[in-house]
Amino acid sequence: MQIANNSVVSIQYTLKNSEGTIIDHSSEGQPLNYLHGHRNIIPGLESALLDKSVGDALDVSVEPENAYGTVNPALIQEVPKEHFQGVETLEVGMRFQASTEQGPVPVVVTKVADDVVTVDGNHPLAGQTLNFSVKVEEVREATAEELEHGHIHTEQSGGCCGGGDVENSEGGSCGCS
Ligand code: ZN
C-alpha cells in the first residue's frame, strides 16, 4: 500500500548535513516509525514520503523552512555570568534550561567571555539544510486508538507513546495508561 494520511510508516534513514557529515541515522532492526499526516516528523520529509510504497528508496533535501526552521536571532542572548552561580566551569557546549515567559527553554552555551555568557535557544538543527536517504520498510493502516492519540503504538513501548525518536508535539500525557 502507498503512504497516505493515517498510515503508520517504518523507515530506515541516514541524515547528513550540507557538509555531507552523517548527523543521525536509524539502526538496523530499529526503523523510525511514525504516523503520517500528524506532524510526527519534519514537514519536508513527510511530504516527500507521500504516495511512496514499501521498498521505495529516496534522497530528500529539506530546506530549514521545512525542517527545524531558520535561526531566530532573538533566541541568542547574552546573559551576565553571575546568573550561572553554582556552575564551576562554564564551557561552550554546556546545556541549560532557561526559564522564560513561555516556560523552560533548552539552551546551549555558544560563547563564554569575561563577564558575559552567550546562550542559544534555537534547535540544534535550525538553519540547516537536511539531506535524508530514506528507505520505506513497512506501511500499515493506523488503528482507531492510534489516530485518537495522534501517534503510533508499538509492542516495544508497551502499547502507547511509542515511536522512538519521533518528535511528539503534544508531549506529556497521551491519554492512555
Ligand atoms: Zn497513545
Q: Each residue of 142-174: pLDDT tens digit?
A: 999 999 999 999 876 567 764 444 444 444 445
Q: Determine the length of the chain.
A: 177
* Cell numbers at 89, concatenated: 566551569
Q: Is the pLDDT of residue 47 over 80?
A: yes
8 Å CB contact between 64 and 72: no
Structure confidence at residue 49 (pLDDT)? 98
d(CA 157, CA 175): 15
Ligand 1 centroid vs 130 CA: distance in angstroms? 29
The CATH code of domain 73-120 reads 2.40.10.330
Listed by start position, the domains of the chain span 7-67+127-142, 73-120
Ligand 1 centroid vs 162 CA: distance in angstroms? 7
CA distances to 19, 74, 136 from 3, rounded to whole Å, are 30, 38, 9
Structure confidence at residue 103 (pLDDT)? 87
Ligand 1 centroid vs 159 CA: distance in angstroms? 7
Structure confidence at residue 23 (pLDDT)? 94
Q: How many C-beta atoms surround the C-beta of residue 66 within 10 A?
A: 18
In this structure, which topology does domain 7-67+127-142 adopt according to CATH? Chitinase A; domain 3 (3.10.50)
* Cell numbers at 155, concatenated: 509492542
Q: Is the pLDDT of residue 11 over 90?
A: yes
Structure confidence at residue 161 (pLDDT)? 61
Number of H helices, E strands in the chain: 2, 9
Structure confidence at residue 88 (pLDDT)? 87
Structure confidence at residue 164 (pLDDT)? 42
8 Å CB contact between 12 and 141: no
pTM, two decimals, is: 0.77
Ligand 1 centroid vs 83 CA: distance in angstroms? 39
Mean pLDDT across the chain, nearest whole number? 89
Structure confidence at residue 43 (pLDDT)? 96
Ligand 1 centroid vs 14 CA: distance in angstroms? 27
Residues with CB under 5 A from ligand 1 (ion): 149, 160, 174, 176
Structure confidence at residue 46 (pLDDT)? 98
Ligand 1 centroid vs 156 CA: distance in angstroms? 13
Ligand 1 centroid vs 147 CA: distance in angstroms? 9
Ligand 1 centroid vs 131 CA: distance in angstroms? 30
d(CA 47, CA 152): 18
Instruction: Give the pLDDT band of residue 42 (cuts 50, 70, 90).
Output: very high
